[in-house]
Every structure is written in structure tokens, then in C-alpha cells.
Structure 1
Amino acid sequence: MIALLQRVSQAAVVVDGETIGAIGTGLMVLVCAERNDTVAEADVLLGKLLAYRVFADEAGKMNRSVADVQGDLLLVPQFTLAADTNSGTRPSFTPAATPDVGRQLFDHFVGQVHARHGAGHVGTGRFGADMKVSLTNDGPVTFWLQVKPKGA
């Protein structure tokens, strides 16, 4: 599974003119399930995401996690992160999980965030929707986290 996280001062997702998810200070996270991913990869990725130190401590060093700062999370499904861009000028999405599996893993990921991240507000995008995502990247700070299935 893949998570592209951005430290933000605010972020929002709009679908059909309606804001369906919005956060203040925290992380906006694009989440993608790849073929052969299972809840095991989702759980490992979530543990890494919640513990990843991207917020400044009193010395200005990135030593605090979203849990440490009681930050918000905005989770947005984004299958295009799995694109194979190695040949040609059109991406291939064969590395992405099927839509059914992708939705199940995204829903599992969101459910686990609600269960494990009681510190901040959690918002989400909508799987399969045409979303408009806005954010103010703080830093900018952006990181790519990826967990591969064992043996991959």
C-alpha cells in the first residue's frame, strides 16, 4: 500500500460542490492499494503513518508525529499512485488493486484510523468520486510511504 502524506495547515475535499471532508493542522494523506495488498499491509502502513515524525519539536526538528501533536488527518483514496509510468506517455494502472479490493482496503484503513487516532479530527474523501482536493502544504513537507506484501 502507498500513502503520500503532506503536512498541512488546512485541507478539504469537495464532491459535487459539497465539502465532504475538511481538516485543520495535520496530514492530508493520499491512500492507494496495490495488487496483492491485504489488511496486513494496510495495518503496517497505518502504524507507520501515525508514528512518522514530520512535525517540529521545540528545537525545530521534525521529531513529532501526527499523534504527538494531536493533528487532524484527511484520508483521500487515490489509485493513480500505483501507476506504472516506466514506458510510453500514458500510465498503466495494472499495479493498482481492483476497485472492489481498493475500496475494501481504504474502508479498513479509515476504520482503523478512527479506532487508533483519537487525538485529532479525521476526514475522508469518497472512493470512486470525482473529488476536488485543496490544501495548504506546510513547509512544504511531503513524504511517500509504501508497504509491500511479503515476498513482493
Structure 2
Amino acid sequence: MKAIIQRVMKASVTVGDETVSSIGSGVCVLLGISRYDTVKEMDSIIKKILNLRIFEDDDGKRWNKSVKDRDMEILCVSQFTLQSIMKGNKLDFHRAMSADKSEEFYNLFLDKLRKSYKIDKVKDGKFGAYMQVHIQNDGPVTVELDYPPTKPDKADDAKESEKD
């Protein structure tokens, strides 16, 4: 499971001309789900998202408060391309969880995130849709969380070893 977390002044998701959801200050989370991911990785990444100290406190001390500490909003967007690997100049998505399984997994992720925080503070895009994600970065601050697959793809590992 991989998450790109961006501290934002505001963020929104549109599909066509319709705004699906939007937030003010907080974080935008782009989430890529691997075919190897389990609830264990999900729980770990949720904990990190909620407790990652990327905001300043009331005294102006940087890197001291989390989105949860500051009672801010979270916008989550499923992004399978985060699980891609390069094959020459072409993207290969075989590490990404299949669409039918990942939608259920992503919805479970959202449910758990909302239960771990506040239901009304967690927004999301439209799974599987062609979306436009509008992000106004704050800082900019971007953090990548990458949880390795629980079952490494031995064929990919062998190919990587051959390149070294």
C-alpha cells in the first residue's frame, strides 16, 4: 500500500462538471492499493495518516501537530497508478489490486479511517471515475508512505536483480 500525503490549503475532486467533494485546510491522500495488501497494512497507514506531524502548533512550532490534532479535513483519492512499475517507457499495473477487489478494500479503508477519526472530516473522490483532483499545496509538503507488499513478486525481484 502506498499513500502520497499532501498538506493542502484546499482540495477538491470533480468528475466532469460535478464537484464530488472538497475540503479546506488538511491533507489530500492519494492511495494506491497493491494486490498483496491486507488489513494490517491498512491499519498501519491509517494510523500514520492521522498522526503524521506535518502542521505547526498554536505557538508556530513546525512539524508538531497532526491533521487529527488540528481537527482538519482529509480528502482521499484512490489512485491505482501508484502501484505501477516501469517497463521501458510503459506503465505496468500488475502489482495493483484488481478493480473489483480494490473497490471493496478502498471502501473498508474509508470506513476505518472515518471510525478512527471523524466521519464528517473524511471525504473521498469517486472510485474508478476519471477525476480531476484540484490541490492547493501548503508549503508544499508532500510525504510518501510506502508499505512493502506482504508477498513480494519473485519474478519482479529477479528482474531487478538482473539489472544490478
TM-score (norm 2): 0.86
Is the CA contact 2:76–2:124 (under 8 Å) kept in the aligned structure 1?
A: yes
Structure 1: how far apart are the matches of 2:82 and 2:98? 14
1:149, 1:95 → 2: CA distance? 9
Match of 1:76 in 2: 77
Match of 2:104 in 1: 104
More helix by share: 2
Deviation at 1:61, TM superposition (A): 1.7
**3-state SS in 1 of match to 2:65:** strand
Contact kept, 8 Å, 2:36 with 2:150, in 1: the verdict is no
Offset from partner CA, 1:93-115 (integer Å, 9 cap, x none): 11111112211111011101111
Larger Rg: 2
Which shows bigger deviation, 95-104 or 119-128?
Answer: 119-128
Measured in 2, the distance between the counterparts of 1:47 and 1:149 equals 18
Question: What runs of 5+ residues in structure 1 fail to find an aligned partner?
Answer: none
Matched residues in 2 for 1:146 and 1:120: separation?
26
Q: Secondary structure at the match of 1:7?
A: strand
Aligned to 1:62: 63
Residue-pair matches, total: 151
Partner of 1:51: 51
- Secondary structure, aligned partner of 2:3: strand
What are structure 2's unaligned runs of at least 5 residues?
153-164
Root-mean-square deviation over aligned CA pairs: 1.5
Q: Which residue of 2 aligns with 1:121?
A: 121
1:45-89 per-residue CA deviation (whole Å, 9 max, x = no partner) reads 11111111111122432111110011100000000001102x310
Contact 1:71–1:119 under 8 Å retained in 2: no
Report how far residue 150 of structure 1 moved: 4.0
Task: Determine which structure has the larger strand proportion and give its number.
Answer: 1
Maintained 8 Å contact 1:77/1:127: yes
> Whole-Å Cα distance in 1 between the matches of residues 50 and 34 of structure 2?
20
Partner letter of residue 55 of structure 1? F
Q: What is the identity percentage for the equivalent residue pairs of Structure 1 and Structure 2?
A: 37
The alpha-carbon deviation at position 11 of structure 1 amounts to 0.3
Structure 1 counterpart SS, 2:85? coil
Structure 2 SS opposite 1:112: helix
The corresponding residue for 1:25 is: 25
Secondary structure class of the residue paired with 1:128? coil
Measure the CA separation in 2 of the matches of 1:151 and 1:95.
11
In 1, the alpha carbon distance for the partners of 2:77 and 2:26 equals: 14
Per the TM alignment, residue 119 of structure 1 is displaced from its structure 2 partner at its CA by 8.3
